[in-house]
């Protein structure tokens, strides 16, 4: 039996799955994040190699059993990033063929039957990408706020802290965030939280993710500031997604736009409503798609594309039955 090894490597978690060529999932494991830009080469290698060794030992497979390793990784943005990533992965996978892409592409593929359309991501960070009918691609640099990107989960957390502290100092309207953020850190008030963020940050990405989730919860309780923060960031993500579509002259196309990432899964309607309204103002004929498959399955499906294997109904059914659904 031949297998595809698929990786979904994000800022806070990394998911690996092993799937045969008929769509049967035989191994799954999730561990900590693997963004090489934020973690460094050593930590990246530890995560990727650790998962690789785990799956080989669990399944008792050798390199001869592996058809392709396909990695969708956050932090794969510039040419220098790809060089760094391939340099780090070569000693791990050795002569086994492996392909590295930005994780935006595997999220796109997890929601469509063929690689066509656009994708908007809001998880720990944010990204947007598009591919047209001619197989031309465009993707954001997705490097930082200073270099043009806005709207990820960390941005939402930073905005929440900003407005909570403004409310605390009576320089802006009050918000539930002022009293709820301290509870996340077992503190009485925001003053007791200052040393967590100044002069240096001592909170993890997971803890910042808790603040992002809190914004969604407060928005459900009609907190004006939380709704404003979510709407503001969704607006930016929509414009960024429309931007990559403009680069490929796709704004008049009837095409899918896949949305992925934990923030898009939030229950507060303001985020998705704002995103849809904004992007449809630029690209009126799109269809918003929420993937039914996990992003790591998008890596598997991308590997099938690379191998020239058609995505059949049998493959889709097997993926659904064996744990590939969100």
256 and 153 in one domain? yes
For residue 246, give the 3-state DSSP assignment.
helix
Question: Is residue 102 assigned to a domain?
Answer: no
33, 155, 206 from 200: Cα distances, Å: 21, 17, 17
**So what's the pLDDT on residue 51?**
98
Range of the domain at 275: 113-291
> From CA 237, how far away is CA 128, in angstroms rounded?
8
Structure tokens at 322: 């064996």
**So what's the pLDDT on residue 5?**
98
178 and 299 in one domain? no
pLDDT over 90 at 11, yes or no: no
* pLDDT band at residue 152 under the 50/70/90 scheme: very high
**So what's the pLDDT on residue 118?**
98
**So what's the pLDDT on residue 37?**
93
For residue 272, give the 3-state DSSP assignment.
helix
Q: Which pTM was predicted?
A: 0.94
Question: Is residue 105 assigned to a domain?
Answer: no
Question: Is residue 124 assigned to a domain?
Answer: yes
Q: What is the pLDDT of residues 274-312, one digit of tens each?
A: 999 999 999 999 999 999 999 999 999 999 999 999 999
Mean pLDDT for 204-232 is: 97
pLDDT over 90 at 2, yes or no: yes
122 and 245 in one domain? yes
160 and 59 in one domain? no
Contacts 24+ apart (CB under 8 A), 306-315: 306/68, 306/70, 306/99, 307/67, 307/68, 309/21, 311/113, 311/114, 314/22, 314/23, 315/22, 315/23
DSSP assignment of 53-110 equals HHHHHHHT--GGGEEEEEEEETT--SHHHHHHHHHHHHHHHTTS-EEEEEHHHHHHHH
262 and 152 in one domain? yes
pLDDT over 90 at 207, yes or no: yes
Percentages (nearest 5) of helix, strand, coil residues in the chain: 50, 20, 30
Percent residues over pLDDT 90 in the chain = 97
> From CA 34, how far away is CA 44, in angstroms rounded?
5
Number of separate domains in the chain = 2
Question: Is residue 107 assigned to a domain?
Answer: no
Distance, C-alpha 203 to centroid of its chain: 20
pLDDT over 90 at 126, yes or no: yes
**So what's the pLDDT on residue 1?**
85
Mean pLDDT for 101-124 is: 96
* pLDDT band at residue 12 under the 50/70/90 scheme: confident
Question: Is residue 106 assigned to a domain?
Answer: no
> From CA 321, how far away is CA 25, in angstroms rounded?
9
On the question of a cis peptide bond just before residue 199, with omega within 30 degrees of 0, the verdict is yes
261 and 120 in one domain? yes
The CATH number that applies at residue 84 is 3.30.420.40
135 and 70 in one domain? no
247 and 148 in one domain? yes
164 and 25 in one domain? no
Q: What is the pLDDT of residues 235-268, one digit of tens each?
A: 999 999 999 999 999 999 999 999 999 999 999 9
pLDDT over 90 at 233, yes or no: yes
Torsion of CA 74, 76, 78, 80, to 10 degrees: 130
9, 64, 85, 91 from 53: Cα distances, Å: 16, 15, 18, 13
256 and 172 in one domain? yes
Q: What is the pLDDT of residues 172-200, one digit of tens each?
A: 999 999 999 999 999 999 999 999 999 99
- Residue-averaged pLDDT of the chain: 97
pLDDT over 90 at 156, yes or no: yes
261 and 155 in one domain? yes
251 and 150 in one domain? yes
Question: Is residue 326 assigned to a domain?
Answer: no
Question: Is residue 250 assigned to a domain?
Answer: yes
Question: Is residue 140 assigned to a domain?
Answer: yes
């Amino acid at each position: 039996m031949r297998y595809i090894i698929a990786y979904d490597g994000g800022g806070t978690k990394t998911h690996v799955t092993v799937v045969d060529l008929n769509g049967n999932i035989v191994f799954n494991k999730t561990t900590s994040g693997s963004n090489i830009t934020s973690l460094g080469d050593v930590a990246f290698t530890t995560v990727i190699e650790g998962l690789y060794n785990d799956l080989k030992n669990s399944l008792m497979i050798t390199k001869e059993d592996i058809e392709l390793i396909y990695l969708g990784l956050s932090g794969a943005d510039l040419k220098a990033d790809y060089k760094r990533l391939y340099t780090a992965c070569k000693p791990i996978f050795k002569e086994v063929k492996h392909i590295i892409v930005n994780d935006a592409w595997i999220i796109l593929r997890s929601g469509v039957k063929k690689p066509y359309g656009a994708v908007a991501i809001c998880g720990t960070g944010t990204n947007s990408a598009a591919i047209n009918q001619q197989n031309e691609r465009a993707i954001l640099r997705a490097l930082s706020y200073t270099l043009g990107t806005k709207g990820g989960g960390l941005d939402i957390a930073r905005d929440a802290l900003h407005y909570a502290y403004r409310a605390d100092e009576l320089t802006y309207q009050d918000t539930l965030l002022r009293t709820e953020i301290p509870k996340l850190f077992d503190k009485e008030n925001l003053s007791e939280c200052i040393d967590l963020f100044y002069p240096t940050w001592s909170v993890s990405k997971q803890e910042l993710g808790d603040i992002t989730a809190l914004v969604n919860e407060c928005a459900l309780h009609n907190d004006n500031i939380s709704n404003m923060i979510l709407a503001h960031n969704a607006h930016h993500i929509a414009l960024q997604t429309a931007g990559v579509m403009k680069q490929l002259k796709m704004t008049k196309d009837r095409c899918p736009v896949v949305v992925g990432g934990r923030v898009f899964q939030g229950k507060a309607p303001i985020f998705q409503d704002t995103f849809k309204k904004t992007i449809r103002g630029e690209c009126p004929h799109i269809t918003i798609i929420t993937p039914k498959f996990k992003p790591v399955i998008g890596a598997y499906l991308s590997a099938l594309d690379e191998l020239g294997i058609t995505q059949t109904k049998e493959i889709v059914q097997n993926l659904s039955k064996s744990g590939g659904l969100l």
